[in-house]
Chain A
């Protein structure tokens, strides 16, 4: 299992669009993926879960991956956060 912390950079935070991007990307990997924020942990492959986090710009999230391809998955997701979800 690996885990890493990310900060939300994009203006909208984890609103519908970015949350959908996140879930879609996560679905490409077999590794299990969980996100933790303020003591709430949700499945990172569930859009309803991701949106429940109400993560806004500046909030910090803990990403946790385990299983096949966990490193690649982690790299890809951290990258997505780093690019601010390609928000224009």
Chain B
């Protein structure tokens, strides 16, 4: 029999890096388990006491929810918190609770059982609804019920943690991510989710390191005491040895020091040593990120994901609401440019109607949806036009797969302009219009598209998925999702060349634009604009400023001749190590 305390074995897991940063600390496994309810009879003289207990549980639940709402409002703005409203209203439903009180009196059953049973009736009906919105509200009903039951059982709310820890969960919803962040959260690690999931987007906005798609971490981490989470590489180490901890502490220090040194770059242009200037802008989904972006010295917003206006909303945002948001963006960034992408819904993103599709990525999404909803599309185009009066707004269409779609969208834009003119409302009559190149067919006809628009913006996330026929959210094949696949590199060259030959500028707003390993290659291929996640901006700027354009062109030519992804990556890695030994890669 061993006498010394056994050290648990170090386990290394690899997931998808979702938000940069390194977290080292105690593990907190966030479990959302359904409460266990027993049916129990009570004596008539116990009724009042039981009712009092229930009343207290409701009051406590109400307090908890209010707190969550206030916190979310502060952190994300009043607009993004409508998700929580329905839950509060359920909790204030006097008819519902009168029925529950009455049943406890007449049936002489414990409140846990009656609450579970009575609210369960509504939950079941909603869950069976054909209406997607109602099915989502069923989750709210369940959440409210579980909150009351937990308070009845006088259990602590799991969203409150003592001290700081790395949160591990099977899945984190957008509200979970927000609510938990009021604790000292060092990082998030989840079983499921991809880089474009809401957990990933929110943790980036909150600047909390995160790794998602870890498959089984919520089980594996169960008895781990401590962990290391590397949001740059996607590596998670459970029960790290002292040596591992030291290694990651050193990495973290290196990054922090590096980031501090980058702050001096803020007001310098993204220009190569031989004075080739490119535009370095950022991708934005939340207006709260704007302050941060200004600090980092971006040339503008290269992609505003307008569909985030719909997050947590029950109806489509009105023209007025959209106008206010776009106007705010345009004014905050002025005189820098803001490119608004029209609603990109469908695929894995939000749907306005419930449509069952066996293959949503090849289905009703992006411009296809908006062209089928011309009234909604017109409202959005009007709102964008109205916000363009200072001439620093541009717009682009997502998921275009043929020229006809561009023509139809432009026709609607003309109609919106015509309406505004008639109404005497000002707008920028020469607003720039672009197309996202993210479907292979659009890449093939890039020259034709370029003839009808002012710019092209390459969306690499979808383009790579479609080109390589790989769903990167699918764990089984996600390793085949290769940014540096020779087919991808050659395809990019084709798009950039064809676009530039027709005299339009070509940008990139996919993740690849923010990958330091790709920067010199993209520069050398002739990319005019890089739109990156805000966190990566200083790093990319430093690389651009540290190389000659002529040299980048040579490197690109060399890479274009390579035949495997490994070859390309090895070459770029060793080049980066030589030229930028202090820039962390992968």
Contact = CB atoms under 8 A, between A and B. Distances in A.
A and B interact: yes
Contacts of B96: 46, 48-49
Interface string A33-57: 0000000100101111101101010
A51 B134 CA distance: 7
Contacts of A52: 122, 125-126, 134
Nearest to B118: A48
A25 B131 CA distance: 25
Given A52-B125, A52-B126, A54-B131, A88 B318 contact: yes
Interface string B10-26: 00000000000000000
A24 to B, nearest CB: 10
Which of A16, A17, A46 has the most chain B CB atoms closer than 10 A to its own CB? Answer: A16
A13 B122 CA distance: 18
Interface of B is mostly: helix
A12 interface: yes
Contacts, number: 58
Given A12-B314, A88-B320, A51 B86 contact: yes
A60 interface: no
A9 interface: no
A44 B45 CA distance: 33
A16 B133 CA distance: 10
A87 B314 CA distance: 12
A13 B354 CA distance: 14
Interface in B305-322: 314-316, 318, 320
Nearest to B87: A16
Given A51-B86, A51-B126, A51-B137, A17 B314 contact: yes
Contacts of B130: 54
B474 interface: no
B95 A49 contact: yes
Contacts of B82: 16
B89 interface: yes
B141 interface: yes
B314 A48 contact: no
Given A45-B95, A54-B133, 11 more contacts: A11-B316, A13-B133, A47-B89, A47-B90, A48-B119, A49-B96, A51-B134, A51-B137, A52-B134, A54-B131, A87-B315
Interface of B: 82, 85-86, 89-90, 92-96, 119, 122, 125-126, 129-131, 133-134, 137, 141, 314-316, 318, 320
23 contacts: A11-B316, A13-B133, A15-B314, A15-B315, A16-B82, A16-B85, A17-B315, A40-B125, A46-B93, A46-B96, A47-B89, A47-B92, A47-B93, A48-B122, A49-B93, A49-B95, A51-B134, A51-B137, A52-B134, A54-B129, A54-B133, A54-B134, A56-B131
Interface of A: 11-13, 15-17, 20, 40, 43, 45-49, 51-52, 54, 56, 87-88
